[in-house]
Structure 1
Amino acid sequence: MNQPLQNLEQLLDRVGELTHHNDRVSIEMVVESIGSRSFGPLLMLIGITLFSPLSGVPGMSFFMALFVLLVAVQMLIGRKKFWLPHFILDRSVEHNKLQKALDWLNKPARGIDRVLKPRLTFLVHRGGSYGIAVLCVIVGLCMPIMELVPFSSSAAGLALLALGLSLVAHDGLLALLAFVIFGATFTLIAVNLL
């Protein structure tokens, strides 16, 4: 059984191992590799996908929005192990596209992991994690609108990545930063659409 992830580099390494043995890498393969009990790594995975060049794959934002909603709602109802439907689990990407995105993310991941540490933990445990889940539901519902505003889904992906990392590293300060990024993203959307 895989050890729990503790940082972003470990997540990228674990997903990267899948590219060495498969022509296509499905979400089900990734979920199995990171474990089905950890919501933080799943949010990290969604955030990485939206922030990376993979977000340009047709239909990826729609599937990631469904993924966010499913993860967040299950966090809200207190499930210990999450469930995903097969139409999401079966979604896949070519291994070379995935490896290119992972290579692109490796250097920033090292820098991010150096500054993570447990702090303001009340923001990522119990009540705080419910607040994170509510915010993720809102983001998932707003993602179709984000398709109309350039770079807004990438900004939301960055914030989701930060939220996932905050849950993994128990870093409440990072969760606060994610809330600020979401606020700026929603402001950008409002300014562009009104």
Structure 2
Amino acid sequence: MDQTQPPANLTDVLQRLRENTRGQDEISVGDLLSAVGQRSFGPVVLIAGLITIAPLIGDIPGVPTLLGLVVLLTLGQLLFQRQSVWIPNKLSNRRVARETLIKGLDWMQKPACFVDRWTRPRLTWLVRGPGQYLMAVICMLVAAAMPAMEVVPFSANGGALALMVFGMAMVVEDGVLALLGMAITGGTLWAVMIGLMG
């Protein structure tokens, strides 16, 4: 596996997270970013969604908000056309037990293989140039809503799924996934609004 290249798909992301965190008891946010390459904006968004939706990890109070902040910082830098991802040390040093991470990755393995069989470059105008910036703005809206999603039951899972789908769309340049991510975002934000008003 060529670690100098961005991950090719979701299975590649999971494999890199496993291999690059071996021998550690706890994994920091910085370790996760290094595992996929800090020049890779799409995989960072994918990882944030993946970890938030994974059992045992995303259920920890504060984790969705923390990863939402990572997404905000990451995609804010994309909008300003930075060439690599920078995260403040205080955020980069936040940690989770590797055992918990691996359990989440194990849970994602079969769905990852299924997703990878059905994704490919298509409608690429939605994930390049202006389309990429539109996706970044939508992801930032989802990330900014994460604190509210922690209050409304199950809505953080919807937000995490949207981020994961958008991250995958960026990784494989699949515009169909981008459209799916927009639909999931709309449904999730609607559910959050109803939940907060109810």
The verdict on a shared fold, with TM-score over 0.5 as the criterion, is yes
The yes-or-no answer on 1:96 pairing with 2:106 is no
**2:50 — aligned with what?**
48
Deviation of 1:59 after TM superposition, in Å, equals: 2.0
The yes-or-no answer on 1:20 pairing with 2:22 is yes
Structure 2 counterpart of 1:25, one-letter code: I
Correspondence list, 1:79-90, <5 A: 79-90=82-93
Percent identity between matched residues is 39
Deviation of 1:4 after TM superposition, in Å, equals: 1.8
Deviation of 1:71 after TM superposition, in Å, equals: 1.0
Q: Is the 8 A contact 1:43 1:161 kept in 2?
A: yes
Any stretches of 5+ residues in structure 2 without a counterpart? Answer: none
Q: TM-score, normalised by structure 2?
A: 0.94
Q: Is the 8 A contact 1:2 1:33 kept in 2?
A: no
Structure 1 counterpart of 2:33, one-letter code: V
Structure 2 counterpart of 1:106, one-letter code: Q
Aligned-pair RMSD on alpha carbons? 1.1
**2:192 — aligned with what?**
189
Q: Secondary structure at the match of 2:86?
A: coil
Aligned partner (choices 128, 131, 135) of residue 128 of structure 1: 131
Aligned partner (choices 24, 39, 61) of residue 37 of structure 1: 39
1:130-152: CA deviations, max 9, x gaps?
Answer: 10111122112211111111111
- Distance of 1:137 and 1:18 partners within structure 2: 27
User: Larger % of helix: which?
Assistant: 1
With over 3 angstroms needed to count, the CA separation of the structure-2 counterparts of 1:74 and 1:10, relative to structure 1, is same
Q: Secondary structure at the match of 1:25?
A: strand
- Distance of 1:65 and 1:107 partners within structure 2: 25
Q: TM-score, normalised by structure 1?
A: 0.96
Any stretches of 5+ residues in structure 1 without a counterpart? Answer: none
Q: Is the 8 A contact 1:120 1:171 kept in 2?
A: yes
My pick for the range that moved more, 95-104 or 141-150, is 141-150
The yes-or-no answer on 1:105 pairing with 2:129 is no
The yes-or-no answer on 1:117 pairing with 2:123 is no
**1:3 — aligned with what?**
5
Deviation of 1:20 after TM superposition, in Å, equals: 2.7
The size of the alignment, in residue pairs, is: 194
Deviation of 1:19 after TM superposition, in Å, equals: 4.2
The yes-or-no answer on 1:140 pairing with 2:143 is yes
Q: Secondary structure at the match of 2:82?
A: coil
